[in-house]
Amino acid sequence: MSVMGEPNFIAWAAQRSGYGGGNLTVVDKVLPDMLHLVDAHWYQFPPMNPLWHGILGFVIGVLGFVSIVGNGMVIYIFSSTKALRTPSNLLVVNLAFSDFLMMLCMSPAMVINCYNETWVLGPLVCELYGMSGSLFGCASIWTMTFIALDRYNVIVKGLSAQPLTKKGAMLRILIIWVFSTLWTIAPFFGWNRYVPEGNMTACGTDYLTKDWVSRSYILVYAVWVYFVPLFTIIYSYWFIVQ
C-alpha cells in the first residue's frame, strides 16, 4: 500500500482527531511473525503520519545513494593510486569501506520498510539488519579512533614518534574487524538480541529489556564501543590543536 494511500492517511487522521477510539499504536501494523520481538514499551506510541514515512524513506534513499557512491569513489581512488596507498591512508580506506557497507546493507531495507510503514522483511533480516548496524558502526568508530591516535603520534610526538607501517596499519584493521565482529555476534548467543525499534521500520540492540543479561551487554558495549573511543579521540585532538 502506498505511503500516501488514502486509507492509511484517513486512519491516521481519525486517530489523531480522537475518532475511531484513538487506540491505534505504532505496533498495529507489525506483522504477526515480528510481534514476539516488540517490547511492550512501544505500544504506548501512536503511529507516525504516513507522510513522514514517505519523506523519511526518500531521505534515507538519497543519503544511501550519495554515501554508496561517495565512499565507493574514495575506495577506488585510494586503491588504484599507488601514491595514496600509505599506511595512514589504509585506515581512511577502511573507514570508507565500513561506511560503504553500512549504507549498502541498511539503506535499501530502511526504504522498503518506510514505504510499508513497518518492518516487512521478517525476523531473520531484522537480526541481520541490527547486526550490520552494530558491526559497521563499531568498525567505523574504532577506525576513527586509530586515525586520531595516528595523527597524535605524528603531530604531537613528531620526530620521536615511531612511524606507522603498512604491517602495523593492517594489524590495526584486523583488530578492528575482529573486535567489532565479536560484539556483533554476541546477541546471537544470548547476550542481548536484535529487535524492532522506534517506528518499527528499523531493528537494533534491545535496550529496553530490564534483565541483567540484556542490560549488561548495553553497559559494556557503551563503554568499549562509544565512551572509550570518544575519550580517546578527544584526548588525541586536544593535544593536536594545542
DSSP-based three-state secondary structure for 4: coil
Q: Please tell me the pTM assigned to this model.
A: 0.88
Put residue 80 in one of left, alpha, beta given phi > 0 → left and psi -120 to 50 → alpha: alpha
Q: Please give the Cα distance from 230 to 181 (Å, whole number).
A: 20
Task: For residue range 124-181, list pLDDT tens digits in order.
Answer: 999 999 999 999 999 999 999 999 999 999 999 887 778 999 999 999 999 999 999 9
Percent of the chain with pLDDT over 90: 85
In a domain, 118, yes or no: yes
Task: For residue range 68-91, list pLDDT tens digits in order.
Answer: 999 999 999 998 999 999 999 999
Q: Which residue has the cell 620521536?
A: 160
In a domain, 140, yes or no: yes
Angle formed at CA 101 by CA 205 and CA 180, multiple of 5 degrees: 50
Number of domains in the chain: 1
How many helices (H) and strands (E) the chain has is answered by 7, 2
Position 1 pLDDT exceeds 80: no
Q: CATH number of the domain that 165 lies in?
A: 1.20.1070.10
In a domain, 147, yes or no: yes
In a domain, 1, yes or no: no
Task: Estimate to the nearest angstrom the gap between the alpha carbon of 202 and the chain centroid.
Answer: 10
3-state helix, strand, coil in the chain (%, to 5): 75, 5, 20
Residue 191 — very low, low, confident or very high, per pLDDT cuts 50/70/90?
A: very high
**Residue 135 neighbours by CB under 8 Å, 6+ apart:** 180, 181, 183, 184
In a domain, 28, yes or no: yes
* β-bridge partners, 195: 204
Residue 22 — very low, low, confident or very high, per pLDDT cuts 50/70/90?
A: low
Domain span including residue 19: 6-240
Q: What is the DSSP letter of 163?
A: P
Q: What is the dihedral of CA 217, 220, 222, 226, to 10 degrees?
A: -130
Q: What is the rounded radius of gyration, in angstroms, for the C-alpha atoms of the chain?
A: 22
Joined grid coordinates for residue 122? 521478517
Q: What is the 3-state secondary structure (H, E, C) of 7-66?
A: HHHHHHHHHHHCHHHHCCCCCCCCCHHHHHHCCHHHHHCCCCCHHHHHHHHHHHHHHHHH
